[in-house]
Each structure stands twice: as C-alpha cells, then as structure tokens.
Amino acid sequence: MSRYLFLSLCLFLPLAQAAAEAPPNDAHDLAYSLGASLGERLRNEVPDLQIQALVEGLKAAYQGKPLALKSERIEQLLAQHEAQISEQSARSQIETALENERRFLDQEKAKPGVRQLADGILLTELAPGSGNKASPNGSVQVRYTGRLPDGTVFDQTQQPQWFRLDSVIAGWRIALAQMPTGARWRLVIPSEQAYGTEGAGDLIAPYTPLVFDIELLGVAG
C-alpha cells in the first residue's frame, strides 16, 4: 500500500471506528458524513476525479469482491498520484517562499538610508569606517549577528572572528570587499547570494534572505 493511501486511511480511521459504534438509527447519517468528509478531501486533491469509478472501487474493496484492476496497476497509479501531489506541494512552497522574499526585500529597500549594492544586496551604514578594505582573496576580522527575516538570530559571534573572503557566502564577499575597516553595516542579502535553493540545515530554509549586522575590525592579505 502506498504511503499516500495509508495516510489517507489513517485520517479516515477515527470516523470509521465511530461508524461501527453508532446506533442503528444514526447509521445512515454517519455513513453519509464519512462520504462527505472523504469527498471534501478528494475534491481538493483530485478535482477531475470520476466519482462513479471511485464508488465502484470503494464498494468492491469494502465488500471483499474481486477488483477490476490488478494490484500492480493500482499501486502504480497511486504512486504516480502521490508523486504528483508531492510535486505540486513543493512547487507551491517554492512560489510562496519566493513571494515572501520579494515582499521582504521590497519593504527593506523602502526604508530610509538604504542603498543597493550589486546583486540586490541592501546596505544601511550604521557607523562609518576609514580603514583599509579587504582584497578579494584576503581575510577579514568581524563581529556580527545574523538574523532571519522574522528577526530570529541564527548566528552570532561572542568574540571577533577571522574569515577568508573566499570561504563565506557571496553576499558577504560582495559587501565586505567594499567595506572600510572600522565600519558597521546592516546588510540584507537575497537568498540567491546566501544559501539559495538548498538552505542551510534546519536553521535556514531554502529561498530565505538574511539580515546581518557586521562590524569590520581588521583586514589581512
């Protein structure tokens, strides 16, 4: 039995148990309610479903009669349907994430004092700097806090840290190469310049823009 069908049956089980325990005079209404509940779910998942074929399969299986399709064919069709549902769900999640990112970046771009760097990175200068800038293959010493769009802190330095520019996300490389030592910037980095379509473990979901408060303390190399 496919996982999709198994989950559907698990959701249906409490109602089925209730039907077995129902008084005789409620049996019809409860059976109807079971059908209505199943129908609502199927309407959303399979809007073009052939109801008569559904009833025929349900009736034959419920009564333990021979089925019109071989078990292999049934499993194949259910697996294809499950894959289609999964694909549609994944596509919907991506579309929602991209729309949320677009809305967030538009809101950030409209804030006072924000200017845009290459590749859509947004910069707000919190404190000026007058020191040297890092070379593309150099190292930087920074103090920083990283946040998700909702303000959740996902990373934060307790002590200043050194990083090679070729080892950090693209958004950092682009911004820090333009940042004078001593400056403190607020960066909003689009997901494409952060962790992109893959995200980063359980901390950062795919298509998530990131917000960094970065202070550049020193450069080397």
Q: pLDDT tens across 210-219, in order?
A: 999 999 999 9
Parent domain of 122: 113-218
pTM higher than 0.75, yes or no? no
- Which residue from 47, 53, 63, 188 is spatially nearest to 115, judged by alpha carbons? 188
Question: CATH number, domain at 183?
Answer: 3.10.50.40
Q: What is the pLDDT of residue 23?
A: 59
Long-range CB pairs of 172-177 (<8 Å, 24+ gap) are 172/212, 172/214, 173/136, 174/117, 174/118, 174/119, 174/121, 175/117, 175/121, 175/123, 175/214, 176/134, 176/140, 176/142, 176/214, 176/216, 177/133, 177/134, 177/135, 177/136
What is the domain count for the chain?
A: 1
Residue 2 has pLDDT above 50, yes or no: no
Could you tell me which of 218, 216, 212, 206 has the C-alpha nearest to residue 122?
Answer: 212
Mean pLDDT of the chain: 88
The reply to whether 165 falls in a domain is yes
Residue 194 covered by a domain: yes
